[in-house]
Structure 1
Amino acid sequence: MAQIKNKILFPNLNRNPEDEFPKQRVPDYLISEVEKLIKLHGDLKLFVDWKTGASVTASQFIEDAYKIASQFKRRACRPGDVIPCLIQSDVNYFSFLLATWISGCVLSPLQHSFSQELLIKLIRSSHSRLLLCDVESAERCRAIKTECPELEEVFVLGNFEGCTPFDRLLDDEAFPRDELKRSEPYDPDETLSMVFSSGTTGEPKGVLLTQQNIYSYLLTARPKANRPGMRTLFVPRIGNVMGLVFGLRDVLIYSTTYLMPTYKDDWLFDAIEQTKPERALLYLPQILAITKHPKSETSNLSSIEAVFTAGMSISKDLQRKLFLKLPSLKTFFMFYGMTEFAGGTMRPFHDYEENDHRLEELRKNHKLKPDSVGHLWPMSLMKVVDENTGEILGPNQKGELCFKGPSKFKGYWNNPEAMADIEKDGWIHTGDIGYYDDDGDVFYVQRSKELIKYLGHHVIPSVLEAILKSHPAVEDAAVVGIKSEEYGELPMAFVTKKPGHDELEAGRLVKFLHDRVRDESFLRGGLVFIEEIPRNAMGKIIRQQLRDRAELEFQKASSLC
């Protein structure tokens, strides 16, 4: 049970985990820990491509990192240089990551969903000289190089004309470690990574993560069931915090991590049967596949003991279905947070079988509340504030969830205005509405921000609204999300027509939008014509009013099907 003091929620701990952070750079700590593990358990395969069998052992992980860091030095990379990467997943990624940190550079994972114009803008603004990509994105990156004079070299995982093969980074011997060791004293506030988070205004922001941030992710909330030699199936999105950190947490428990560089539902079941993982990092699409796909009836999924997920709240009903499909599943870990404050809450959902005698015991001990997003991360503080007055609210009062702690990000890249909006008096304001109860369990209610999440993808209403309003017959438009148990939220549009365009049909306008956006931004909630988009005195859309109407319109349409 958490502690509540002056309406502030504190984790129920008798120690301060932050005091236990090593007083050394993260790469130095990782290398020393891995070398200890090699002596204790032998040279384990740390990363394996489940489909090709390509692998990186623990000793190779370190050796390759030093070779790559040496190549950075030969290319005159300096501490603070931003080195972006645009890849889905690869067994060599974490050696590249470690090399970047050894060199004092800033790793910046980019996302394949970014437009070409945005990628060019981000690489120009960060003055990046080197870039890592996969074959899938190589053509885009080669074109970026022609647009960005400062980008001197593009490394590709594989072979692609006009790009330097990644293997060239491993050709030469590494410099002695003393030559690569940095002389500056350890600084917990030193930036290690810049991870991009989709905002609500249509422009992703670079979230700066420090040594302290990374330690707060790596060294807290480690399940006691972890043990060396475990196997983990990782369906990653390298461009987010989970993709950045989860693989490194696996390194520290000395687990073999099986990566899926590309994903298909059928392959998920093949990968589970072939690798027999005890642990799996899955997102909503994979959880839905396990509960619904025909192969779930015939595949052997009995190896999985723990599932980890983030980015989307998983309903109680879906949790139950997952436990039924995975006969050995003991714990389902769901994390709530944001890129700017990844360690918000964490909760393990235990076996939901009604006849399980543990269920009532867990409820009595306040450990199991199906609608809760969990307890506080071990080092986080939380408060709930009134959105309008800023007043701190007590238990069971709904308001904006705010967090403070060592996982709080350093700031936004070249965007002090956005930082001022999200951080106030040291507290991160999430834009999410929720509350905590008398036991300190945290509950998420709804998103105050505009952002819509469909299957974990960020759908930005303002982008869709701009496209809709570009149609010659459209006067105004607003897009909101409809809650969906299976998909998170479904985008739905409200549109007003210009005078003299009564003939405009919803189907034609939907096609107009769909021809210009990616699949995840499709209007799966529908499109409705209305007389006027509700706006406040400042001209801002009153989205809650539209959300309420959207639920009614969607229910009405569903009843007619």
Structure 2
Amino acid sequence: MAQIKNKILFPDLNRNPEDEFPKQRVPDYVISEVEKLIQLHGDLELFIDWKTRSSVTASQLIDDAYKIASQFKRRACQPGAVISCLIYSDVNYFSFLLATWMSGCVSSSLQHSFSQELLIQLIRSSHSRLLLCDMESAERCRAIKIECPELEEVFVLGQFEGCTPFDRLLSDEAFDRDEFKRPEPYDPDETLSMVFSSGTTGEPKGILLTQQNIYSYLLTARPKANRPGMRTLFVPRIGNVMGLVFGLRDVLIYSKTYLMSTYRDEWLFAAIEETKPERALLYLPHILAIAKHPKSETSNLSSIEAVFTAGMSISKDLQKKLFLKLTSLKTFFMFYGMTEFAIGTMRPFYDYEENDHRLEELRKNHKLKPDSVGHLCPMNLMKVVDENTGETLGPNQKGELCFKGPSLFKGYWNNAEATTDIVRDGWIHTGDVGYYDDDGDVFYVQRNKELIKYLGHHVIPSQLEAILKSHPAVEDAAVVGIKSEDYGELPMAYAIKKPGHDKLEARRLVNFLHDRVHDESLLRGGLVFIDEIPRNVMGKIVRQQLRDRAESEAWKPSSFR
């Protein structure tokens, strides 16, 4: 049970987990740990593409990392240089990542959902020298290189004219390992990664993660019951923070990890049946597929003992459906956090080999709370503050969740103002409303920020509003997220017509927007014309009023009026 002191939640530990952090650079630590595992258990496959069956073994991971780092050195990439990635998932990703860090370079993670203009802007402003892409994004990246002369080379996982095949990075012998020893001492505050994730103001922010941040992710809640060669099905994209963290954690526990470089619901069931994973990393869309897809009735899903998820709160009813479909499931492990802070809380972790009798006893004693987002991460402190007064609240009082700990990010790249807005006196203010109870269990209530999450995708209201307002007949517009049990939130719009444009139909305006956005940003919640968009004295949209209005008007999905 966590401890509550002066209305601050402390982990129930008699030690400082930070004392256990290695005092060496992350890539050096990972490589040394893998070499120990090879000595103990042999050279196992670490990453396998479920569909193509291409794979990377433990020794390959290390050898390829040194070969790629040698190619970076041949291209005169100096420490601090930015090397970008725009991929969904690939078995070679972690060799490329380790090589970037070994070279002292910063790994920049981009997203396929970014517009071409935004990608060009981010490549230019970050001064990215090299870019790794997959075949899905190869044409876009070739065009980016033409627009960005500072981008010297684009590597593609495959073959695409105008791009360098990834295999060329592995074609030459690696330099001697001593070439990669750096003279300066280990600095826990050295930046390793810059992850661009969707912000709440329309511009994705570069989130700077340090050596210490990465260690705090890797060394949190590692299960005791690790079995070398244990199979993991890794479904989400690996370019984001959770992909990075779980992929490297799987390396450190010597898991045999199957990646899905392309995804369809039907393939998920085939992948489970063929690979028979004991563990699965799934996001909300994949959990929904298992709970509701017709193939879940005929597929053998009995191998899965543990499911890990993050990014979205999974309802109690959906958890029950998951346990019914996965007959061997012993642990549903849910993280609550954000890229800027990684893991804030964790659902209680139970080792896979613990018998069902223990879990039943916990349920009977009401110690396993399905509605909770878990217990405080052992490295963190947490408090709940009143959003208006800033007062620190006690147990069972709802307010903004705030955290402090070693996983707190370094800051937003080139955006000191945004950093000081979210981090105050060493505490990160999540913008999420929640509370903790007398047992120290943490509960998430709602998001107070503008960001909409549809099936785990980030939808930025201001971007959709700008498109709607670009229509010649629209005076003003506001987009909000409407709660949905199955999808998280559905984007819904309110708009005001300009004088003289009374004949504009809602469906025509919706189609106008849909022609300009990705699938996750479609107005599945519909669009309603109103006379006034509520705004506060600062001119900011009062979105809660619009959400309340939709609820009071018995809103239905895809309504147009």
- TM-score scaled by structure 1? 0.96
Query: Which stretch has the larger CA shift, 359-368 or 544-553?
Result: 359-368
User: Does the residue aligned with 2:438 lie in a helix, a strand or coil?
Assistant: coil
Asked if the contact 1:452–1:461 (Cα under 8 Å) also holds between the matched residues in 2, the reply is: yes
Per-residue displacement from partner, 1:160-197 (whole Å, max 9, x unpaired)?
A: 11111111111111111111211111000011111112
CA positional deviation for 1:387: 0.9
Per-residue displacement from partner, 1:18-66 (whole Å, max 9, x unpaired)?
A: 1001111111111111001001100000000111111100001001101
CA positional deviation for 1:348: 4.0
User: Does the residue aligned with 1:222 lie in a helix, a strand or coil?
Assistant: coil
CA positional deviation for 1:526: 1.5
> Aligned in 2, Cα 1:337/1:504: closer, same or farther, shift over 3 Å?
same
CA positional deviation for 1:504: 2.1
User: Does the residue aligned with 1:538 lie in a helix, a strand or coil?
Assistant: coil
CA positional deviation for 1:372: 1.1
Aligned partner of 1:232 in structure 2 is 232
User: Residues 347-496 of structure 1: matches in 2 within 5 Å?
Assistant: 347-348=347-348, 361-363=361-363, 367-496=367-496
Residue type of the partner of 1:295?
Answer: K
- Aligned mates of 1:417, 1:245 — CA distance in 2: 28
User: Does the residue aligned with 1:428 lie in a helix, a strand or coil?
Assistant: strand
User: Does the residue aligned with 2:347 lie in a helix, a strand or coil?
Assistant: strand
- Aligned mates of 2:359, 2:221 — CA distance in 1: 22
Per-residue displacement from partner, 1:420-452 (whole Å, max 9, x unpaired)?
A: 111100111111111111111111111111000
Asked if 1:218 is matched to 2:218, the reply is yes
- Aligned mates of 1:359, 1:480 — CA distance in 2: 40
- Aligned mates of 2:123, 2:512 — CA distance in 1: 31
Residue type of the partner of 1:274?
Answer: E
User: Residues 63-78 of structure 1: matches in 2 within 5 Å?
Assistant: 63-78=63-78
Asked if the contact 1:11–1:378 (Cα under 8 Å) also holds between the matched residues in 2, the reply is: yes
Per-residue displacement from partner, 1:515-561 (whole Å, max 9, x unpaired)?
A: 2211111111121222211111221111111111112334467999x
> Aligned in 2, Cα 1:366/1:211: closer, same or farther, shift over 3 Å?
farther
User: Residues 481-520 of structure 1: matches in 2 within 5 Å?
Assistant: 481-520=481-520
CA positional deviation for 1:499: 2.5
Residue type of the partner of 2:293?
Answer: H
Asked if the contact 1:456–1:488 (Cα under 8 Å) also holds between the matched residues in 2, the reply is: yes
Asked if the contact 2:110–2:196 (Cα under 8 Å) also holds between the matched residues in 1, the reply is: yes
Asked if the contact 1:492–1:550 (Cα under 8 Å) also holds between the matched residues in 2, the reply is: no
- Aligned mates of 1:241, 1:318 — CA distance in 2: 25
> Aligned in 2, Cα 1:209/1:200: closer, same or farther, shift over 3 Å?
same
> Aligned in 2, Cα 1:441/1:159: closer, same or farther, shift over 3 Å?
same
Per-residue displacement from partner, 1:101-124 (whole Å, max 9, x unpaired)?
A: 111111112111111111111111
Aligned partner of 1:242 in structure 2 is 242
CA positional deviation for 1:360: 6.0
- Aligned mates of 2:395, 2:540 — CA distance in 1: 31
Asked if the contact 2:345–2:375 (Cα under 8 Å) also holds between the matched residues in 1, the reply is: yes
- Aligned mates of 1:304, 1:445 — CA distance in 2: 29
Asked if the contact 2:49–2:258 (Cα under 8 Å) also holds between the matched residues in 1, the reply is: yes
What runs of 5+ residues in structure 1 fail to find an aligned partner? none
Asked if the contact 1:83–1:128 (Cα under 8 Å) also holds between the matched residues in 2, the reply is: yes
> Aligned in 2, Cα 1:272/1:377: closer, same or farther, shift over 3 Å?
same
Residue type of the partner of 2:265?
Answer: D
Aligned partner of 2:117 in structure 1 is 117
User: Does the residue aligned with 1:269 lie in a helix, a strand or coil?
Assistant: helix
User: Residues 242-391 of structure 1: matches in 2 within 5 Å?
Assistant: 242-348=242-348, 361-363=361-363, 367-391=367-391
Residue type of the partner of 1:149?
Answer: P
> Aligned in 2, Cα 1:98/1:334: closer, same or farther, shift over 3 Å?
same
CA positional deviation for 1:94: 0.4
Query: Which stretch has the larger CA shift, 252-261 or 150-159?
Result: 150-159
User: Residues 537-556 of structure 1: matches in 2 within 5 Å?
Assistant: 537-555=537-555
Asked if the contact 1:283–1:309 (Cα under 8 Å) also holds between the matched residues in 2, the reply is: yes
Residue type of the partner of 2:23?
Answer: K
Aligned partner of 2:152 in structure 1 is 152
Aligned partner of 2:204 in structure 1 is 204
Residue type of the partner of 2:223?
Answer: P
- TM-score scaled by structure 2? 0.96
CA positional deviation for 1:297: 0.9
Residue type of the partner of 1:331?
Answer: T
Structural RMSD (CA): 1.7
